[in-house]
Chains A and B, each alone.
Chain A
Amino acid sequence: MAALLDVKNLGISFGGLRAVNGFDISIEKGELYGLIGPNGAGKTTVFNLLTGVYRPDTGKIILDGKDITGKKTIDISKAGVARTFQNIRLFKQLSVLDNVKAGLHNHHRYSAVEGVLRLPRYFKVEKEMNGRAMELLQVFGLENHADVLAANLPYGEQRKLEIARALATEPKLLLLDEPAAGMNPNETGSLMEMIQLVREKFGMTILLIEHDMKLVSGICEKLTVLNFGEVLACGKTAEVLNNPQVITAYLGE
């Protein structure tokens, strides 16, 4: 069976800087895959390439047999890639519920006219959206905060809400950019459980960037290590973490 995400020779330059070069990755459906590397290695740039924020200079991105290379962000979202952000980018002035509903936007339709005049279809679709959004919030234990402004949620909960919002777009592939950043060990522990729950409950394929080695070695099955924009190593988690080159890249000579 072909991989869900198949990336070959991906590359991009900013001015004279080759930020990502010859990047390959292949992720099977249902896999939990980690992308690690020192700061500035180009990990978030890879995410930006995968989601269409940047257009690659070279390479191909195949998602579930479909070529999504160089497509617009919105088309890639529709094709089934969703993500969270390193620096949380929730809609802070929207309620928790509305944030998730923003993610549902593409799957539930009524016209603007129906929305202004509040025709029956408006009530029907809004009810569906509310139901679906509440289900998602329940998975993350956020259902009691549905009406709270996203800005007023505690930090850890904001991270969870971002994952819920991403899942609302019904992705095939979920990209998590440093989900444990700024969390204490307890919060990280509960996040790890959450990520595994998401994977089982939604049958989700997940690619995550993370610096927290406890999280990476705890839940990722496979890893790709990025260094100076190029793949340094890839394979099973334990093997990669014991690779002398990887240890050198992280700790120095």
Chain B
Amino acid sequence: MGMSFISYLINGLSLGSVYAIIALGYTMVYGIAKMLNFAHGDVIMIGAYTALIAITQSGLPPVAGVLAAVVVCTALGVVIEGVAYRPLRNASSSLAVLITAIGVSYLLQNIALLVFGPNAQTFPSVIKWDGVSLADGKLNISGVTIVTIGACILIMILLMTFVQKSKQGQAMRAVSEDRGAAQLMGINVNGTIALTFAIGSALAAIAGVLLCSAYPTLTPYTGAMPGIKAFVAAVFGGIGSIPGAFIGGLLLGIIEILGRAYISSQMADAIVFAVLIVVLLVKPAGLLGKKIQEKV
């Protein structure tokens, strides 16, 4: 065991970091706009394709490719919110917006199918660094792994301080608690929700690039499964909670990799979802979730 266990653990942390970055987008949108954006996973895929095109076809350096992905996804997130979700904000049923989100998800997948075709494309290596070798070469950690984990921690810190300490973050928390009162205090609710989508989608772009750097095949369906797992991670950690999404993502990644290594590679996904069910049975609000009191 020993070294290989540590190596699995690190791989799990790396995959978990990607889930965490995606889950942050889910959880922020849920916390502030009170909706589940099931198209979030597909924004990841669009981000990855953008980076792919920017790097392989336009010949941009990898950093510029990542930036292009961030810009495109941020704009995409704001457009999706403005066109598809905003008109339904005061709809009588929250199901309307949920179903719309699923529709947007299929729309993005099919547009990608039409434009890029169904064949898997190989994602270029964005991170050229070979990584480090520890314990006399018995433990190799790739550059992608280190960058992914580092990016996740950095994003988490920036996001936490932004939400806690900035006026935009205050507006987000105010809108999250009482949209009507926030509006009456002069807070631009539509702008605040659009900003939330912009941030979530920018994170999705980064997650897309990191995911495809670690697992370099890209198809129009690449975002779907990680999207669902990140949603599971967000629920697992307590949806609406930023640290919850972080912890949920990391744990989910570790469980998946360890399950694949020690139990069964076919069963890995099933194990992930089984863990979710157990957690929700014991702690229905998730690990860090708050108990929701229904207003009577």
Contact = CB atoms under 8 A, between A and B. Distances in A.
A101 B172 CA distance: 13
Nearest to A75: B186
A74 B190 CA distance: 10
Contacts of A129: 167
B180 A116 contact: no
A116 B180 CA distance: 26
B168 interface: yes
A187 B173 CA distance: 30
A161 interface: no
A153 B184 CA distance: 22
B173 A91 contact: yes
A92 to B, nearest CB: 7
B195 A112 contact: yes
A92 B173 CA distance: 10
Given A93-B173, A94-B177, A73 B167 contact: no
B188 interface: yes
A60 interface: no
Interface residues of B, number: 27
Contact of A78 (B169, B182, B186, B199): B186
Q: Majority SS of interface residues in chain B?
A: helix
B178 A110 contact: no
A83 interface: yes
On chain A, which size bracket covers the interface? Answer: 35 or more
Nearest to A115: B166
A192 B284 CA distance: 46
A110 B181 CA distance: 22
Given A115-B162, A126-B167, A102 B185 contact: yes
Given A74-B189, A91-B178, A126-B165, A102 B170 contact: yes
B292 interface: no
Contacts, number: 87
A82 interface: yes
A108 B186 CA distance: 12
A203 B71 CA distance: 47
A105 interface: yes
B158 A116 contact: yes
Nearest to A109: B167
Contacts of B173: 91, 93-94, 98
Contact of A101 (B162, B170, B177): B170
A89 B167 CA distance: 19
A83 B184 CA distance: 7
A166 interface: yes
B184 A73 contact: yes
Which of B184, B195, B198 has its CB near the most chain A CB atoms (within 10 A)?
B184
Interface string B147-188: 000000000001001100111111101100110111111111
Contacts of B166: 112, 115-116, 122, 126
Given A94-B173, A116-B158, A101 B167 contact: yes
A77 B195 CA distance: 21
B180 A89 contact: yes
A105 B170 CA distance: 9
B177 A93 contact: yes
B55 to A, nearest CB: 25
Contacts of B178: 89, 91
Nearest to B164: A98
B241 to A, nearest CB: 12
Interface in B189-214: 189, 195, 198-199
Nearest to A93: B177
A74 B183 CA distance: 6
Interface in B217-231: none
- Interface pairs A-B: 3 shortest CB-CB: A115-B166, A77-B186, A89-B181
7 contacts: A53-B184, A74-B188, A89-B178, A91-B178, A105-B186, A115-B169, A126-B166
Given A77-B186, A89-B180, 5 more contacts: A74-B183, A102-B174, A105-B170, A112-B168, A125-B167
